[in-house]
Each structure stands twice: as structure tokens, then as C-alpha cells.
Amino acid sequence: MHFLDAWAALPRLDLLRFGVPAALLLVAVLAPGRVMARLATLGLALSLPFLRGSGDSGWVTAGWMLLWLAIAWRAGLPSSRAARSSAGLGGLESGTVGLLLGAALLALLIAGVARLDLDAALTRQCSFGVMLVSLGFLHLMLRRHTVRAATAFAAMGLGLQSLQGAVRTVVTTGGAPPDGLPLVATTLVVVLAARIGAVRVATAGSAWVGDAHDLHD
């Protein structure tokens, strides 16, 4: 009940601060198409300044905004010369499994946060970070697109940034990790994912994981 009370006690404006980025990321996970991917990630980038409250410095917030703006720009570009092959029953099965695994992971992690003896603010921050990590994992399982995997990794990194903010609140000595470490690590992973996607398109003509059977040694 402490977990539910921590969220129920929030004013509506603060609920919007947390709810809008999560809802936009969920749109990026569930809605197909480049246009929706670009709009969702662009909206998420613009919502990030309102999420400040975990002690993140201004340059870290600006860095996350620039990263998500770059992802939004890239998400709207055509990423393959060949049409996506029909996934058929295999695509449906993998999507169902991904949805179930993502929901189970989210439930388990939030249940773990709910059992911790944290104050209301830390409970909200930790559960929000866990939710972003789970949505990133769900994006990887459902979209199965090597270029747009950057969105999934960025969501996971943003969730880790939120969790790191909670750690810095608890750790008052010099043991807390550097402020921008999740941002730097996520940027490197996103660049690597974009590079792999570009190579995949150049060599196989498609960035869809389901078209991997087109690759030949």
C-alpha cells in the first residue's frame, strides 16, 4: 500500500510529469511506423526538462534531450531498401512472448521496489526508472528493428539515470557514481546500435531482424 500511496499523493501536475514520458514511450513500443516513432520520441525529448528533480545537473538533462532529438530524427528516416518480409505466425509468437516477458519483468521489479523501505519520493523515482527499463526491454522484443533499437537502449539508459538519482539521494558520501555516467554509456550504445543498423541495411537491404535469413556467408 505504501507504493500506491506514494503515487496517489502526487498532485495531477506531477503525475503528468511522470505519465507523459511513459505514455510516449509506450506509443513508441506499440505503434508501428516511422511517423509515430518520430512523434513519440520527439515528444519524449521535449518532456525531459520537466522530469528534473532527481538532482541531475542542467548539462545532463540537455544531453538527454539532444540524444532523444537525434533518435527522433533518425527514427523518421527510411531504414531499408527492401520491404519488410512477412513475419507470419513467428512474428506473432515472438511479439506475444515479448509482451508477456516485459509485463512479468515490470511486475517483478516494481514489486521489489514496493517492498523496500523508501520514502514516497524515492519510491516514485525508483519505480519510474524500473518502468522505463522494462519498456525499453519490451521495445526490443516487440519492434525487432536494428535501427530503432536505439529507442529501446535510450529508454533503458534513461531509466538507469532515474535510478542513479535515487542512489545519489541515499548515498551522501563519495561512493555515488558520476552524474552523467548513464548518459555517456547510453550514448555509446545508441551510436553502436545505429551503426549496426546501418551496416545491416547496407549488406542485407533491411533492418528488420525477421529478415536475417537473407544474410548469407
Task: Answer whether residue 86 is part of any domain.
Answer: no
* Grid cell digits, residue 140: 526490443
- Give pLDDT tens digits for 128-148: 888 898 888 888 877 766 667
| % of residues, the chain, pLDDT over 90 | 18
| Residue type (1 letter), 211 | D
Q: In what helix (H) or strand (E) does residue 95 lie, and over which residues does it extend?
A: helix 88-114
Q: Whole domain around residue 166: which residue ranges?
A: 2-81+91-212
Is residue 187 situated within a structural domain? yes
In a domain, 163, yes or no: yes
Q: State the cell numbers at 176.
A: 555515488
Most confident of the ranges 94-98, 106-110, 202-206: 106-110
- The answer to whether position 52 is within a domain reads yes
Overall number of domains in the chain:
1
Is 156 inside a domain boundary?
Answer: yes
Cell numbers standing for residue 182: 548513464
Rounded mean pLDDT, 115-131: 79
Secondary structure of 153-207 as H, E, C letters:
HHHHHHHHHHHHHHHHHHCCCCCCCCCCHHHHHHHHHHHHHHHHHHHHHHHHCCC
Instruction: Quick: pLDDT tens for 38-53.
Output: 899 999 999 998 876 5
Domain assignment present for 217: no
Q: Report if residue 29 sits inside a domain.
A: yes
* Helix 12-30 × helix 120-143 angle, to 10°: 10
CA–CA distance, 160 with 172 (Å, rounded to integer): 19
Write down the residue that cell numbers 521496489 correspond to. 113
